Amino acid sequence: MKKNVLIMMIAVAIIGLSSCKKEDNGSSQGSVEASKSTKINKGEPVSFKFSKAPEDSTVQWSVAPNKDVIINASGNIASILFANAGSYTVNAMYGTLIGTLDVSVQDSIYNPGSGGSPTIVTLTGDQIAVSVTKIPDSMGFVGLNLAFLTKNKYKCLNNTLLFTRGDLSSNNITTYTIEFTGVEIPSDDFCASGEDYSKGITGFFPVADGESILEIILDGVTYAGTISKTGSTLTITWNYSNGVTISPFIIN
């Protein structure tokens, strides 16, 4: 009997030691909350919060896969935009605290619009930098992602860059149009405290073969250039160094 009791005491001690080691060497798992995790549209800003970390802490945010993803973070809050459809994992890390959340992005493109309670700020005097990347397709089609970044900063990390987009084909020539209409500032109750640049993503798929027209309207001024598609290579002609700028010009 004494032998059995001794064996049980040793087993309990081993389990306790193992548990302590796990606590010392392992990472604590924290929760990541999101304004939505499914049916996210491409280019739709989604807010994430790492609730286990203090509000004024520096949280390291990352997304896997990270292709054509925009992260706008401050403290334990991040606003993230996804340019492509698919499944993603959002990761947050603060010290030994780690949080993850799986999200899914659908193929629909987000078209921002104004609401009743937010404030719409004009883009007067601002400039916008456009970064372009290619959308490949297994069927041989090619599309174009456009990521936008304002030169000026605006209130609320989760502000929304407002724009309309469209494409029209006439006489075998396609015109792609983007018109920026302002920045939507959420009400105080929904504002992620801070100030940062306003960002957005949209895309055109597929891009027509040959030469197309690209028009971008900002603050009542129309900037015009061309998109040439040869095989899977896209070449953009854009003769502006301020107002609305684009890079790169050649996307292989």
Q: With bands split at pLDDT 50, 70 and 90, how would you rate the model's confidence at 74? A: confident
Instruction: State whether the Cα torsion 235-238-241-247 is positive or negative.
Output: negative
Instruction: Report helix, strand or coil for 5.
Output: helix
- Of 173, 178, 171, whose CA–CA distance to 224 is shortest? 178
Predicted TM-score (pTM) of this structure: 0.70
pLDDT greater at residue 252 or residue 151: 151
Q: Is-contact 61 78, C-beta < 8 A?
A: yes
- Which pLDDT band holds residue 19 (cuts at 50, 70, 90)? very low
**Would you tell me how many other CB atoms lie within 10 Å of the CB of residue 107?**
10
- Edge-to-edge order in the sheet of strand 128-136: 195-204, 142-155, 128-136, 244-247
One-letter amino acid for residue 160 of the chain: T
Residues with Cβ < 8 Å from 24, sequence gap 6 or more? none
| Residues 159-193 pLDDT 10s | 889 999 999 988 889 999 999 999 999 888 778 78
Name the least confident of 105-119, 190-204, 216-230. Answer: 105-119
Domains of the chain (ranges; CATH) run 27-110 (2.60.40.10), 111-252 (no CATH)
